[in-house]
Structure 1
């Protein structure tokens, strides 16, 4: 019968048992798998051990998720600010239009308070609506 020789190279990583302190080794692949799935493994004395902390992959996924959320929040804030600016522009435009309309009416002798037409608008305002001038300057 012929004999065959097989050579296998296995890289082992050492681990210290959290319960008894015994040093033992597993293959790097198994250790990586247990770091990812957090399942338990036993030392030679039978004590259960596991890796409770998040793995590098889990940490990177969490950080990526947090970064994406931060980007979405920043985009939302920028969009909200843009909408507020647009609304303020529209409001300003409407106010300017109302002021222009009011100025034209006043220039044509129409009272801004009682909406009647007068030849001497200044005299009418001083006698009939004296609070209007003080109201405008205090606002």
Structure 2
């Protein structure tokens, strides 16, 4: 008898523009969990590009998100995620039974310089490490 492969949890990060907080959270989770967690991010009103100060702040910790593009939040993205983490998007995220919803209150990096983004980045990393512990998935770095 073979043992079934462990289930890979999926996490969706949602903020309004998908240009800052949700992009950093998705990048940290991908970086720290590798392929042991499915990672998605989206926005209720996506911006045209990722915030350049966010790209710079993430580059400072060795994570390149310069190729990322903000994506629109879809019902399918929520439906196919085990954990949905909102970051200031209000009530725009659809709610489905059986999903775990978390709301992370974080400052918005929109219009901020890299000096203001760094503490937001560091708080997101701290929360991602906590999330990994809750999921039973040790961080790789």
- TM-score (norm: length of structure 1): 0.20
Q: Please identify the structure whose Cα radius of gyration is greater.
A: 1
Q: Which has the higher helix share?
A: 1
Structure number with the bigger relative contact order (C-alpha 8 A, sep ≥ 6) is 2
